């Protein structure tokens, strides 16, 4: 019999289906974290989920477009995508790989599928930068699947540690201000996963496969759960096994001003970003 869930563990605050939309040159995706949840899930600004076997849903990719003021994290569950940017970085993102790009003061990049058929599936997460770092020098790194740190617990949990620290394993990327924790977590049937997490840190979980229970509440496949902030403890259970993306971080509590791919602290700064882009000064 499974242990009783500690009364002090975090629960589910709300369940989110997301909004079907398209972005780039017509890539079909589901936006599970959009502008309405930016304050609630601070420091995360956006989470897009894409997944299709139909090339018409992804083949056009994301031609050249700008970003300023935040970081993008792209994680591929399946497929191949080539990244090129104005800072001279180029990378091929393949199944199981992650790309981390700090747009800082400005980057213009493209993300183009390198396949004509087959499955393309993954996530793009936007992580905000503190006001003091919004105009920092752009940074880019990609990690192939076998370069990403992994952990395994005695309770049937296996995780790829994309960011942050978990069970003594340091993730591929760490950030001091926002302390992002990003895990691709697999649970064996009957397994569970526990993670200390400061109550003030906002957290979400997206179920890729199977189903999980948090504080006794079920979260079904392709649902996002926004977790409450009632406890420093998190416990995820999976009676029949599951795969989830777990994302948590320390809120910045700074003003958010977004216009498309520019996320700053004031309308004036966003206006400046648009002016810089139009004048060819962004990147
Ligand atoms: Fe982009």
CA distance 248 to 201: 6
**Residue 131: inside a domain, yes or no?**
yes
Q: Where residue 75 sits, what CATH number does that domain have? A: 2.60.120.10
Of 142, 124, 133, 162, the closest CA to residue 70 belongs to 133
**Residue 283: inside a domain, yes or no?**
no
Number of Cβ within a 10 Å radius of residue 181: 23
**Residue 124: inside a domain, yes or no?**
yes
**Residue 65: inside a domain, yes or no?**
yes
41 alpha carbon to ligand 1 midpoint, in Å?
A: 20
**Residue 5: inside a domain, yes or no?**
no
Q: Tell me what the pLDDT averaged over the chain comes to.
A: 95
**Residue 102 belongs to what domain range?**
12-278
**Residue 234: inside a domain, yes or no?**
yes
Residue-wise pLDDT for 93-112, tens only, equals: 999 999 999 999 999 999 99
**Residue 86: inside a domain, yes or no?**
yes
234 alpha carbon to ligand 1 midpoint, in Å?
A: 31
How many domains does the chain divide into?
1
Alpha carbon 241 to its chain centroid, in Å, reads 22
Number of Cβ within a 10 Å radius of residue 96: 18
241 alpha carbon to ligand 1 midpoint, in Å?
A: 33
In terms of residues, how long is the chain? 283
Confidence tier at 8 by pLDDT (50, 70, 90): confident
Query: What pTM was estimated for this model as a whole?
Result: 0.96
pLDDT at 153 over 90: yes
86 alpha carbon to ligand 1 midpoint, in Å?
A: 12
């Amino acid at each position: 019999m499974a242990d009783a869930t500690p009364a002090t563990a975090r629960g589910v605050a709300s369940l989110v289906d997301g909004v079907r939309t398209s972005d780039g040159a017509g890539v079909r995706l589901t936006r599970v974290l959009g502008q309405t949840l930016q304050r609630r899930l601070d420091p995360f600004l956006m989470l897009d989920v894409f997944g299709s076997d139909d090339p018409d849903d992804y083949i056009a990719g994301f031609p050249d477009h700008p970003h300023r003021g935040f970081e993008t994290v792209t994680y591929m569950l399946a497929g191949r995508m080539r990244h090129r940017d104005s800072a001279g970085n180029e990378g091929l993102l393949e199944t199981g790989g992650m790309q981390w790009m700090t747009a800082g003061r400005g980057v213009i990049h493209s993300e183009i599928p390198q396949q004509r058929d087959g499955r393309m599936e993954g996530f793009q997460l936007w992580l905000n930068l503190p006001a003091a770092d919004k105009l920092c020098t752009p940074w880019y790194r990609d990690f192939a699947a076998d370069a990403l740190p992994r952990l395994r617990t005695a309770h049937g949990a296996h995780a790829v540690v994309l960011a942050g620290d978990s069970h003594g394993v340091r993730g591929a990327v760490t950030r001091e201000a926002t302390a992002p924790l990003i895990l691709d977590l697999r649970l064996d049937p009957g397994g569970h996963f526990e993670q200390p997490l400061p109550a003030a840190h906002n957290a979400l979980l997206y179920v890729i496969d199977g189903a999980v229970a948090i504080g006794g509440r079920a979260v079904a496949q392709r649902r996002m759960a926004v977790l409450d902030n009632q406890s420093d403890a998190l416990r995820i259970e999976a009676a029949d096994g599951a795969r989830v993306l777990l994302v948590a971080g320390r809120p910045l509590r700074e003003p958010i001003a977004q216009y498309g791919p520019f996320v700053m602290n004031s309308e004036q700064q966003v206006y400046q970003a648009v002016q810089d882009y139009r004048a060819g000064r962004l990147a």
